[in-house]
Amino acid sequence: MLFWNKKNRLQLVQQFCRYALFSIVLTIAYGLTPAFAQAASHSASKTVLVLGDSLSAEYGLARGTGWVALMERRLQEKKIAANVINASISGETTSGGKARLEKLLTQYQPDVVIIELGGNDALRGLALGASETNFRDMVAMSSTAKAKVLLVGMQIPPNYGRDYTERFFSIYGKIAKESKTALVPFLLQGVADKPQLFQPDRIHLIADAHPMMLDNVWPHLYPLLTSSAK
C-alpha cells in the first residue's frame, strides 16, 4: 500500500509540473501577442501610389535613377514590405491628377498616396483657386478610399511675381493643416539653390539631385508606412 501511495504522489507531482509549465507558456504567449500583432502589422505589405509630374516621372533621366525608384530601393533595404506604383506623368497638372486619381484608387487600393503636383499649374500661371480646389478634392478622395496622404510641397522661381509665388506655396501648408495631412514642406529643399543639379532646361533635375529629394520625402513618408492604423 505504501508503494502505491508513493507512486501516486510521484504521478501527482509530475502532473502538477506539466500543468504549471503549460500555464506559464500560455501566460507568456498571451502577454506577447500584442507585440507580435504590432510587428506583423508593420511587416504587412503596403501599397504606395505616387501621383506626380515630371519630377517624379524621371524626365530626362535613365530609368531607375529618379527619387521614386530610389525610394523603392530604400524600402527594400529597410525591410519595409511595400509595392510602389509610380503613376506620375510629365507635364501633369492638379486637374489631370484629380481626373486620374479615382481610377487609380480603385485599381490599386493604396495605403499611402503621395501627391507631388502643382508645379505645372504655377509655371502655366493657372488660377490658384482651381489648383487649391483640386488638391482639396484629391486629398478627400484618397481619405475616402482609406489611404493616408503625403502632400509634397513645391515652390516656383520669384520671376513669376512675389504675390503669386507666395500664394502658390502657401496652398500646400493650408491644405495639409485643414485636412491634417502629412506634408513635405519643399521637395527641392537643398537642391533648388544649386544650378549644377539642373538639366539644361533649368527646370528638371539631374540624377545626382534625386537622392536629396528622397531625403526630403523620407522622414514624412516613413511614419505613414510603419504606423499600424491605415
Could you list the active site residues?
54, 201, 204
Q: Under a CB-based contact definition with an 8 Å cutoff, are residues 121 and 83 in contact?
A: no
Q: Under a CB-based contact definition with an 8 Å cutoff, are residues 25 and 92 in contact?
A: no
Residue whose entry in the numeric block shows the C-alpha cell 510603419: 226
Report the distance separating Cα 205 and Cα 200, nearest Å.
Answer: 9
Report the relative pairing of strands 82-86 and 46-52 from DSSP bridges: parallel
Report the distance separating Cα 63 and Cα 58, nearest Å.
Answer: 7
Residue 93: which residues within 8 A CB-CB, separation 6 or more? 53, 117, 120, 121, 124, 126, 131, 134
Q: Under a CB-based contact definition with an 8 Å cutoff, are residues 179 and 136 in contact?
A: yes
User: What would the grid cell of residue 23 be?
Assistant: 500555464
CA distances from 219 to 106, 118, 125 (A): 27, 21, 31
Report the relative pairing of strands 112-116 and 46-52 from DSSP bridges: parallel
